[in-house]
Each structure stands twice: as C-alpha cells, then as structure tokens.
Amino acid sequence: MTGIKVFRDSFVDKVVWKSRLFSLTIGAAATTAAVSVLGNARVGQINVAIPNWTNTVSTTLTIVDSDAFTVYTSNAMTQNTSHHIVDMQNQILIYGSTTWTFTLSGVPGGAGGNLTFNAYFL
C-alpha cells in the first residue's frame, strides 16, 4: 500500500473537556434569565441546579445562536433538583455568540433565587 499511512486512533485518549460554571440571579417577579456564551465548541453536557422557588414553577433552557436560530430547547425541569439535560450522544454545536435563556413557567415568588449551571465544552 504505497502512499497510504495508517495512524492509530488515539483521538479518544486526547479529548479534553472544559467546563464553565454560571450563576444567574432570578428575582421574585422575573420569569427569564439569560447569559451570552462566546466560542466555537461542542456542548457535551449541561448540569442545572434549580432552587426551591416559593411558587411551583418549572424551568426550560433555550440556546439561540447569533443568527437567531434555536439550536437547543430542553424539556421542562422541576424546581429544587439538579438536572442532567444533555448527554454525550446529543452534542450541541455552538459557534460565535450564543444566548442561553432560562424561562420559568411563572414567577418564582419569595426572594427569587440563584440558578446555577455547569456546561462542558469540547
């Protein structure tokens, strides 16, 4: 086989995931909170910790790219729990500036709270 080189597939051994932790403060009367994420990457996992709101509300995450296309929408997430909402088989491709918006199904009441999420990028 002249001219053909075979390389050992060592890509899997060298994959480096980077994570970034975000914290969003949501007021008692607010129903959305958003953050801009800049970069070109694959999102392999997102873990979300939703506080125990005073009112019973669910939360949805939507990721919109710089061309205003929705690239991801999560299922509704319940309060007072942690959610693993994206797995390795369903990676999300992002490029440039994306807006990550958490939308509540109603007002959280009380003093609001802090929603935190950790995104893992490749």
Check whether 117 has a pLDDT greater than 60: yes
Split into its structural domains, the chain has a count of 1
- Asked if 98 and 64 touch (Cβ cutoff 8 Å), the reply is yes
User: Could you read off the pLDDT of 4-54 as tens digits, one per residue?
Assistant: 433 444 444 555 678 899 999 999 999 999 999 988 888 888 999 999 999
Domain of residue 31, CATH code: 2.60.120.380
- Asked if 99 and 22 touch (Cβ cutoff 8 Å), the reply is no
What is the per-residue pLDDT for 42?
87
Check whether 57 has a pLDDT greater than 80: yes
Domain membership of residue 77 (yes or no) is yes
Domain membership of residue 95 (yes or no) is yes
What is the number of H-type helices and E-type strands within the chain?
Answer: 0, 9
Residue 80 is part of which domain span?
A: 19-121
Domain membership of residue 62 (yes or no) is yes
pTM of the predicted protein model: 0.84
